[in-house]
Amino acid sequence: MPQLAAHQLIGANFSFQHFPFDEVARTIRGFGLREIELWGIAQHLDLFHATDARVESVRRVLADNELSAWCFTPEQVLYPINIASGDAALRQDSIERFCRAADICAALGARYLFLTPGRGYESEPRQPAWDRAVGSIGEIARRAAANGVRCLLEPLQRFESNLVNDAAGLRQMLHEVGAENIDVVLDTVAMATAGDTVAGYVDLFGSRLAHVHLVDGTPGGHLVWGEGTLPLGHYVSELARLGYAGKFTFEPFGNGSYALDPVKAWTRCLGAIAPYLNRATVPA
């Protein structure tokens, strides 16, 4: 069975939002993981309270736990942040906060800033919001590049965005933005709900496919492995067979109990992925 390298699996603070960040970092390191996708959520590191002092505090916690930040993923779906908003003031504020996020990535030593496309008004034509998203992503990517940071761009499910919902739309957005420092995220739930495939992502994006959210669903949802109907083992084997060299992590959100006992949720995911990891492989 094709296997991914164990070092490609990284931690994340998804579902840990009701726990202090230092406790979260200790837990993730206790799982044996060395890198983290840092979800920018209150009470950890959100974009509304990210003073230099708070960023430095997070950096120290990561260092104390021998963790490095792979990417910084500010909350941008539930929060009042929308880079494609038809409200000019809200859109501008969102862009400025994400430019600040690029600075935070640099301060944390993170390789990537995680982006989503935003959304337009449901009552307006798609094109104006699309154009706003293209402009916003380009501006943020330029700030990231100035910081030596790359970006990740993820398509969303339709209820989350009315702009980029599948791999073809993601490719078109990348083409129009035209920034060389943007790579791609494959989210297994978004992929399944759009009717896309692992092979299709690899074919479209090649080495620009750099990050995977491995989550179960029915096909929607963000469930722990085994609580949905998606063939996650097949997806992982396919990624390995096709030579995927990026990182992947779990994103359990779909069950309210996950936030009450995130260790249980993550332990189930880690147990499920174990047969698909080659622990003899070391980073190049």
Strand order in the sheet with 182-187: 11-12, 35-40, 68-74, 112-115, 150-153, 182-187, 209-213, 247-249
pLDDT tens per residue, range 115-137: 999 999 999 999 999 999 999 99
Beta-carbon neighbour count of residue 200 at 10 Å?
16
DSSP class of residue 12? Answer: E
pTM of the predicted protein model: 0.96
Query: Residue 11 belongs to what H/E stretch?
Result: strand 11-12
Report the share of the chain in percent with pLDDT over 70: 99
CB atoms within 10 A of CB 62: 23
Segment (H or E) for 186:
strand 182-187
Q: pLDDT (tens digit, 9 = 90+) per residue, 206-236?
A: 999 999 999 999 999 899 999 999 999 999 9
95-250-58 Cα angle (round to 5) = 55
Helices (H) and strands (E) in the chain, counts: 10, 10
How far, in whole angstroms, is CA 93 from its chain's centroid? 21
What is the CB-side half-sphere exposure of residue 121 using CA atoms within 13 A?
7
Crossing angle of helices 167-177 and 198-205, rounded to 10°: 20
Domains and CATH numbers, the chain: 4-278 (3.20.20.150)
The confidence band for 186, taking pLDDT boundaries of 50, 70 and 90, is very high
